[in-house]
Amino acid sequence: MKIAVVGTGYVGLVTGTCFAETGNHVTCVDIDEKKVQMLNNKQITIYEPGLEVLFERNIRQGRLEFTTDLKEGIKGAKIIFLALPTPPGEDGSADLKYVLKVAEDLGPILEEYTVIVDKSTVPVGTADKVHAAIAANAKVDFDVVSNPEFLREGVAVDDFMKPDRVVIGAESDKAKKVMEKLYGPFVRQGNPIIFMDVKSAELTKYAANSFLATKITFMNEIANLCELLGADVDMVRKGVGTDTRIGKRFLFAGIGYGGSCFPKDVQALAKSANQADYDFKILNSVMEVNQAQKERLIDPLKAYFNNDLSGKTIAIWGLAFKPYTDDIREAPALENISKLLSLGAKVKAYDPEAMENVKGVFGDKIYFAEDEYDALKDADALMIMTEWPVFRTPEFDKVEARLKNKVIFDGRNLYELGQMEELGFTYHSIGRKIING
Ligand code: UDX
């Protein structure tokens, strides 16, 4: 089948590449000429483990192409995916200008029946707006379908190739058939394609991400309570997570969620609810708690240094919002670094992938280390912000030799309490007892 994907950002590129991998011919369209030139030269423009092999193979085998020309790109396409940015507008609601501009441009150039698919995360009612924008100038029949993505950065290829489920909001049987054929190869293991009306599909994406953000935030509040009551959040997590109604995943307490999806989607759903005259109280609390959680380790850090961080050097391990990505959007590390600098501290940071991106934010205001041990040299304390595997089993004698004080503030609960006790580190984590404090 011939497919076009408009927008070659993270979602567009993963979507296009994975559809090419199952034998479709995919043309990706983007207005950014430099990007398209790079992609045509087989230079991948995003960091996503496992994607490059598929990307390179499908270009080589002629199934994956890139162009800036929308008309050329959609020629012969049975399905056109819209994978365009929907940044939060000033009031927190998703800004649809990119999606609606492409919809307007598509109207006059569609040549035969086409299924237009909203892949971007868009508020309920967007498909209707896209439909109207295309219909204004369309000469042929078409359907607008909602097919939200559930890709996690770092494992997006796996999530795409073996999805838990595929959600499709479609109003016509014709569109449903086209989508069912396209997704057939991805659900062979028996996972479902769930068909529904368009509005329910649009809401499903927001509901899923907001629920997961709420699940994490709930555990973060349990962790904060554990600290006050002398309980251990890791034990509580195991105790509750084995109840299959609750489930083991997404129960890890830490210094808050970040990334390009959860913060934006929770905010957008709260805003949508508000516009529908509904006060979604839980979501407002989730946003408030998560904001505070990101700075959860600052107070104990200040207290350790008698409320004076001026002139102190803090080593930071981890800058990305989570491991296996270079994405720093809404990353807790950034807020902590800003806070530390405002309190007069110096920062030495290390991340396996995200340093270039952070250089764009802080420039020479902080020191970017060669590796995790270099970050510790002459530092007064270590703070851990991201659970990269390389931080899980460091050589503690090297850590001790470089740090001025044997103290770790761990926002991701990487180490066993017993081990820290034995090694003699002062160890603050989230929702657990303070060791040697
Ligand atoms: C998320 C959704 O999982 C995905 O389905 C959606 O389409 C896009 O948003 P992503 O943002 O890539 O994916 O990351 P994810 O792995 O879901 O983690 C989100 C955030 O939650 C991270 O900041 C992570 O550190 C945090 N998190 C996750 C926790 O704090 N505890 C957990 O138990 C799980």
pLDDT for the residue numbered 91: 81
The residue whose C-alpha atom lies closest to atom 7 belonging to ligand 1 is: 150
Place of tokens 């929308």: 70
pLDDT tier at 221, thresholds 50, 70, 90: very high
pLDDT in tens, 247-296: 999 999 999 999 989 999 999 999 999 999 999 999 999 999 999 999 99
Q: What is the rounded (10 degree) CA torsion for 121, 122, 123, 127?
A: -130
Q: Residue 327 half-sphere exposure, CB side, CA atoms within 13 Å?
A: 22
Bridge partners for 316 per DSSP: 349, 383
198-229 and 233-241 helices, crossing angle to 10° = 140
373 lines ligand 1 (CB under 6 A): no
How far apart are the CA of 246 and the centre of ligand 1, in A? 17
> What percent of the chain stands above pLDDT 70?
100
Shortest-distance atom of ligand 1 to CA 216? 31
How far apart are the CA of 162 and the centre of ligand 1, in A? 18
pLDDT (mean) for 109-128: 95
Q: Which helix (H) or strand (E) holds 138?
A: none
pLDDT for the residue numbered 175: 98
**Annotated active-site residue in 18, 28, 226, 261:** 261
Indicate if the pLDDT at residue 430 is higher than 90.
Answer: yes
Please list, in sequence order, all residues whose beta carbon lies within 8 angstroms of the beta carbon of residue 122, skipping any fewer than 6 positions away. 86, 94, 96, 99, 146, 202
What was the ipTM of the complex prediction?
0.92
Domains of the chain from N-terminus onward: 2-196 (3.40.50.720), 205-293 (1.10.1040.10), 295-428 (3.40.50.720)
For the question of whether the overall pTM of this predicted structure is more than 0.90, the answer is yes
**What tokens does 91 get?**
């009031």
Indicate if the pLDDT at residue 243 is higher than 90.
Answer: yes
Cα angle: 109, vertex 112, 115; to 5 degrees: 90
**What tokens does 385 get?**
């912000």
Indicate the top mutation candidate among 10, 51, 212 to test ligand 1's pocket, ranked by most ligand atoms within 8 A of CB. 212
357 lines ligand 1 (CB under 6 A): no
258 lines ligand 1 (CB under 6 A): yes
d(CA 215, CA 198): 26
Indicate if the pLDDT at residue 14 is higher than 80.
Answer: yes
pLDDT in tens, 393-413: 999 999 999 999 999 999 999
Shortest-distance atom of ligand 1 to CA 153? 12
Cβ pair 286, 266 in contact under 8 A: yes
Please, what sign has the CA dihedral across residues 5, 124, 147, 13? positive
Active site annotation includes 28: no
281-294 and 198-229 helices, crossing angle to 10° = 50
